[in-house]
Amino acid sequence: MPHLPARHQGWIAPLLVLIAGVAVLAAVIMLRPQPPAAPDQPSYLPPVSVVSPSMVAEHPRVETTGRVTSRFQINLVAQVSGEVASVSENFRAGASFAEGELLLQLDDTDYLAQLAQAQANLATAQQQLASEQGLARQAQREWRDLGNAQANSLFLREPQLTAAEAQIEAAEAALERARIDLQRTRITAPFDGVVVAVNANLGQYVNPGTALASLNSTAALQVETALSTAELTALGWHRQAGSLTQLPDASLTGSQLAEPLSARISHISPRLDSMTQLTPVLLDVQEKGAMQLSSGQFIQVQLKGPIRENLAWVAETALYERAFVLTANGGEIALAPVEILARESGRLLLAGLREGDQVIVERPLWVFPGQQVEPVPVD
């Protein structure tokens, strides 16, 4: 070893001691017993609640709200002129009336005089015709006594007879018109109904076409409602076809009704409402019990479509993004498109599921399609 200067010899020994210590420590670490390897931990699978619904045959049902309206809503107008001489006790807003009931009576003095004049004119025309017929028979005898074979039409008074007969027809028509005008002074109800508004009253002079009142029928009622395209499809209606092969039954219920009333779809509009994107639908009330209804009231409507197979009832919590449910078949979440055919007490009647499907009814919010999960059956 080369000879080191005296000033460097002082730190060689500590360095050797440090190296020896590191070597001993490394040996101790390498030679100490190693703990056994921990077993692999299984990955966590989030639990989800599932049900396996049974397939059933059911009627699709749609529940909505409708408004009762009258099928016949008219303005009662005068057909002849005259002063209102009398009005019925029921001729006021809100009052009900029966078909044929006298609502107003116009002053008929002038019309009675016109009827009498028409009767006199008819009698005069009849007398004129009888006179002409007698003269024509007399002319015919005179012509025959002259021994001529061909009679002259003017000599036989044929033009005068034709004119007299025409006068009869005109007089009869005038008499019929006078009778009709007299009858029109009596303004009667065209149906059972209710007075909505009154526009004329006692002592007022009216002309033909004057609106006297607004009337609504209570004998023929309908219900106005609106349905989505999906609801109409569930009932068996398709916009392209434009008709229902079987009109669905409807049931009307409300707090005012002692028992449900039956109705039937009578019209489905070919157009969507631009604001609501719903299709207007009209239903005719079928029963005499419709007298329990009032025009303008709101009522619950339940429509029942033709029976369908392979449907399933599931909890409403299973619905995902309005048109799907999530299934956990094989432990993996998948989307299943479904069609909602009825809603009832927190559950849905769905088409599109298969026997044995595990439908998720409850899951953590952070669980999504494609994820592995642990299905937990629930009742």
Which numeric CATH code is attached to 48-58+308-377? 2.40.420.20
User: What pLDDT does 1 receive?
Assistant: 47
For helices 158-183 and 109-145, give the axis angle rounded to 10 degrees: 160
Q: Does 3.20.20.70 match the CATH number of domain 109-183?
A: no
User: What pLDDT does 157 receive?
Assistant: 67
Which parts of 38-193 fold into alpha helices (H)? 109-145, 158-183
Read off the tokens for 89: 């006790």
DSSP string, 52-87: -PPPEEE--EEEEEEEEEES-EEEEE-SS-EEEEEE
Let me know the angle formed at the C-alpha of 95 by 90 and 99, rounded to the nearest 5 degrees. 65
Fold entry, domain 62-69+220-304: Elongation Factor Tu (Ef-tu); domain 3 (2.40.30)
Can you give the residue ranges of every domain in the chain?
48-58+308-377, 62-69+220-304, 80-106+187-217, 109-183
Q: Looking at the chain, how many residues does it have?
A: 379
Pairwise CA distance, residues 125 & 116, whole Å:
14
Asked, colleague to colleague, whether 62-69+220-304 and 109-183 share their fold, the answer is no
Q: Which residues of the chain have pLDDT under 50?
A: 1, 41
Let me know the angle formed at the C-alpha of 128 by 127 and 133, rounded to the nearest 5 degrees. 100
User: What pLDDT does 173 receive?
Assistant: 92
The pairing of strands 47-51 and 374-377 is parallel
CATH class, range 80-106+187-217: mainly beta
Sign of CA dihedral 167, 170, 176, 179: negative
